[in-house]
Structure 1
Amino acid sequence: MATTTMLRQWVTANVFCLVGTSPLKLLAWMVSYSQCTEVLRDLIDKFYCSIYRHDRCGFDNVKQRLHTFAASGGNTDMFWDNVKHAQKPEAVVLSHDPLGSVTLRAQSANKLEPLRAALAEVQRHRSAIARNDALFLRKCLLKLAIDRASQISQCGFDGRLCWDDEFVADRGSAIIEGSDAECTEQWWCTESPQCVRHQG
């Protein structure tokens, strides 16, 4: 009992003076404190002063406030939608450079993080589209080579099938459309159909 009285005196003298609680709130806290039968929690948790003696006291208080809100005609579903994704506020770091400008690093970082994630997603989509385009161009080149090889009596191996992706992306569409100005025969093997180099 003496420990509880000493703890109340310490709380009255120190914690509530730091927080700036009014005397009426302090009196209400002390009255409700005398009725609480829960185990006392830490009063100071990383420089955060709690007005509740135990977590359940805080839950009971929130429950009572929600019942009062609902009884006064408040829409609890809309309330839950608004607070469902609430996050604990992060500290704001102010840095001062020699020129005198002040930046809010935490806020700008919080704003940039979703944008960076969206940019990464766009880059993934862009690379997937580029891969699909390269595959489509290679498929068209292969079809052209097969069609031409079946119509001529030569080996007909098309060296353009060995191009890397960058070269296919640069020149592939021009070849498929037939607008390539270069002589296309320089890419074909003109040996006999049983060419040792390509058939062997």
Structure 2
Amino acid sequence: MQTLKNLIETQFPGLPTKLVVSGNELTLECKSEHYFNLVKALKETKELGFDQVTDLCGVDYSTYKNQEWQGPRFAVVIHLLSVTHNWRLRVRTFASNDDFPIVDSIYPLFNGVNWYEREAFDLFGILFNNHPDLRRILTDYGFVGHPFRKDFPISGDMEMRYDSAQSRVIYQPVSIEPREITPRIVREEQYGG
């Protein structure tokens, strides 16, 4: 890991990045405006040779470790793998605008991130600039909101179901009545005695 850390520090001396070693993992943080070019350099630099993205996800840092987070709210985190050199690297970038989080898509570099970026958009509302087909992937196209955001309401008031009479999906108010569940307690007079 130290070899990789030293190599990254020498490859990007002028780029404002931050290397963090935690739990035997190396994380490279960069500003969102440098994200695409940094990932491109990590892929194309022969000495680094990161040729696979094994994961990409969105993160909502509005609260972190049960405390208010100081800094940008939304991040995109990718995990890179170099098969040639047998090392891994995590890259994290924060969207600069919390109200309209947007990060450049790395789809032109790794087309396997297509569905990962769509998932981060669908669940966190993070937009990926230059993504060829950014649309919802896990929720319904008419779904309002992004369910993995920490401020998303836990229970809603609308439900979706297929209506066979109309041959389509319809939305209607939630039909489940809330109920109080009280556990039954069984006591026997001579139990255990």
Q: TM-score, normalised by structure 2?
A: 0.23
TM-score (norm 1): 0.22
Using CA pairs below 8 Å that are at least 6 residues apart, which structure has the higher relative contact order?
2
Bigger CA radius of gyration: 1
The structure whose residues are more often strand, as a share, is 2
